[in-house]
Amino acid sequence: MEKIIVRGGNRLNGTVRVEGAKNAVLPVLAATLLASEGKNIISDVPTLSDVYTINEVLRNLNADVVFENNQVIVDASKELNVEAPFEFVRKMRASILVMGPLLARNSHARVALPGGCAIGSRPIEQHLKGFEAMGAKVTVGNGFVEAKVEGRLKGAKIYLDFPSVGATENIMTAAVLAEGTTILDNVAKEPEIVDLANFLNAMGAKVRGAGTGTIRIEGVEKLRGTNHAVIPDRIEAGTFMVAAAITQGNVVIENAVPEHISSLIAKMKEMGVNIIEEEEGIRVIGPETLKAVDLKTMPHPGFPTDMQSQMMALLLKAEGTSMITETVFENRFMHAEEFRRMNGDIKIEGRSVVMNGPSTLQGAEVAATDLRAGAALILAGLVADGHTRVTELKHLDRGYVNFHQKLAGLGADIERVTEVVAEKATQETTQSNVHA
């Protein structure tokens, strides 16, 4: 079993560079299936397990994929398969994003129901509603969702009940090859949506309004390969901002875009954190005393749900009572119990968590319940007394590249270890004692 062991007490100092955005590269890679001519060359791609998974999905659909030196080259010009099987899709929910491109290219898509982080129900009804509005017949059964249409999809006016990022992306990619105009209302406004629209337009699509509440798409007959650099990962940037603040450190985060994390910057400044936008990146200087604040997760440009658990770690060290309300996902407080194991003064009240601080955190063995929780527990370990051991690192590896090494480079006392050797040594010792 792999664990990350953190010994708390070190202030972080130095410079760290964030990778390309996981939440941007996955829909972009899925959308490469739309190009019936030429190759797509995607750069600034992070070497994450989710990226390897989506690449396997693309290969299974008969695309040629080469991934090296943070660049993915995809040739999807051959006839595509229509089915994405469970063996790949089960690893990652974002695999459902191949459905829109497949339906647009092939008029038929059959995708296994997805896996990934177990955060609430995360339904895909909004995706399917959009496909049906464009003329597809959708069926769900036997662990698969299937969509078919006679000929091409038809442009439609579609209203999303909730500004779902995944639904916005999937319907966008389906609509770019549809006949006529598609108007999407109440859509997600995240920077990753804008990045996807820029990529689609570079391939020859006609997408307007990304980043606003309404997106207008004029369908075209075909798309061709292009070059595209993925935007920086705002959640990784935010995670290192919290790492600097919680340790009273002084860190410059390179390749971060302040406009993408304005709500986080505002909340951290409210807590007393000194944040300076410099030419090299964002400098974060942690104060001696953090102030308690309340925050509520919201769709962009509100506070990002993917920064909720990291901020919980930070607020545990703030003076006074803080409250976090989660409005985007249900059941996203599983990490609160792990913080309690570290002596965090924390109480769950429905969709809110109340923290009385500052808590004197103590090292403990804790489990990453999901991707961002894993990062948050490591952040808490940076300021806990003694050793903190974080397990279930498979979640962490889905969203962070060399996380412990980057923290070590800033001065953290942290290592990643495999304890199989120790267990084997214990077994060998036991066996030798038996035979003695």
* Active site members: 117
CA-to-CA separations, 187 to 126, 183, 195, 296, 434, in angstroms, rounded: 11, 10, 14, 20, 67
- Residue 229 pairs with which residues in a beta bridge? 43
Binding-site entries for UDP-N-acetyl-alpha-D-glucosamine: 93, 122-126, 306, 328
Alpha-carbon distance of 233 to 227, in angstroms, equals 19
Binding-site entries: 22-23, 93, 122-126, 306, 328
* Residues whose CB is less than 8 angstroms from the CB of residue 127 and which lie 6 or more positions away in sequence, other chains included: 96, 99, 100, 164, 166, 167, 170, 171
The pair of three-digit structure tokens given for residue 16, joined into one six-digit string: 């760290």
The amino acid occupying position 89 is V
Binding-site entries for phosphoenolpyruvate: 22-23
**What dihedral do alpha carbons 200, 203, 205, 206 form, nearest 10°?**
80
Alpha-carbon distance of 341 to 259, in angstroms, equals 36
298 and 327 Cβ atoms separated by less than 8 Å:
yes
* Residues whose CB is less than 8 angstroms from the CB of residue 30 and which lie 6 or more positions away in sequence, other chains included: 54, 58, 94, 97, 98, 100, 101, 169, 173
DSSP-assigned letters across all residues of 98-114: GHHHHHHHHSEEEEEPP
- Residue 158 pairs with which residues in a beta bridge? 184
Binning the chain into helix, strand and coil, the percentages to the nearest 5 are 35, 30, 35
Core vs surface per residue 42-70: b (16+ CB within 10 A) or e: bebbbebebbebbbbbbebbebebebeeb
The pair of three-digit structure tokens given for residue 328, joined into one six-digit string: 């985007």
204 and 177 Cβ atoms separated by less than 8 Å:
no
146 and 121 Cβ atoms separated by less than 8 Å:
no
φ and ψ of 240, to 5 deg: -70, -30
Alpha-carbon distance of 180 to 176, in angstroms, equals 9
